[in-house]
Copies of this chain bind each other. A is one copy, B any other.
Amino acid sequence: MTRPQLLLFDIFGTVVDWHGSIVREVQARYPQVDADAFARDWRAGYQPAMQRVRSGELGWTRIDDLHRLILEPLLPRHGLGHLSEAERDHLNRVWHRLDPWPDSVAGLNQLKRQHLICSLSNGNLSLLTHMAKRARLPWDCVLSAEVFRAYKPDPQVYRGAVETFGLAPEQAMLVAAHQDDLAAARACGLQTAYIERPLEFGAKAPKDVSPVAANTWHARDLVDLARQLDAA
């Protein structure tokens, strides 16, 4: 297996802890809310919202706007129907303020020594840029579905990222905590690395992180991935 030159990272759940970050912020500002259920409800609207774009029902719509569309009907259901426009806008931008997993910054800095490291998220460029600046994620380049105007797992996103760097697919690798994302990248010829994030959905909803043989690598976290790639 050739050593990949370009590492492309899924973000939500893989590099940053969306569930824990939203729970912490909602608990601090709105202690009356079941923050765990709220965070999972919000995220549950994510794939259906992108599907409305993929199907053509909605024109190209950034994740910031999809997050807001999903948020609106959730607010009254979680006792937050009284929030002002400014409070809704601020809450919606919690996705710009997600905290990295404890290993992410160290792992990315180590991986950056030998590889080009780029985000490849459905999150929009503004969201990913604000997140990286706040969390000190050391991307060589912030890439987003927004650049290719298609949402993962559309092959245009993976192929677009590889073509941007003039590489053959096998010279690139997708790093993600989600098997469906990895399977779509693999179908485009990319190498794949699965990252275990058993608590992505919170401690009440542990995730199966069993290895899948089709992946090129399987790592506990990003520091472990860096260690494995350096040793290879």
Contacts and interface: CB of A to CB of B under 8 A. Distances in A.
Interface residues of A, number: 20
A171 interface: no
A128 B147 CA distance: 15
A165 interface: yes
A141 B140 contact: no
How many copies of this chain are found per oligomer?
Answer: 2
Identify the interface centre among A116, A125, A143, A166: most chain B CB within 10 Å of its CB: A125
A193 interface: no
Interface in A118-158: 118, 124-126, 128-130, 132-133, 140-143, 146-147
A64 B133 contact: no
Given A141-B142, A142-B141, A166-B64, A129 B147 contact: no
Contacts of A164: 124-126, 146
Given A126-B166, A147-B147, A166-B64, A116 B133 contact: yes
Contacts of A166: 64, 126
Is chain A's interface secondary structure helix, strand, loop, or mixed overall?
Answer: helix
A165 B142 CA distance: 13
B147 A140 contact: no
A93 to B, nearest CB: 10
A133 B125 contact: no
Contacts of A146: 164
Contacts of A124: 164
Nearest to A165: B126
A141 B116 contact: no
Contacts of A141: 125, 128-129, 132, 142
Interface of A: 64, 116, 118, 124-126, 128-130, 132-133, 140-143, 146-147, 164-166
Given A124-B164, A126-B165, 17 more contacts: A116-B130, A116-B133, A118-B129, A125-B141, A125-B143, A125-B165, A126-B164, A126-B166, A129-B140, A129-B141, A132-B140, A133-B140, A140-B142, A141-B142, A142-B142, A146-B164, A147-B147
Which 4 residue pairs are nearest across A and B when measured between Cβ atoms? A129-B141, A141-B142, A126-B165, A133-B140
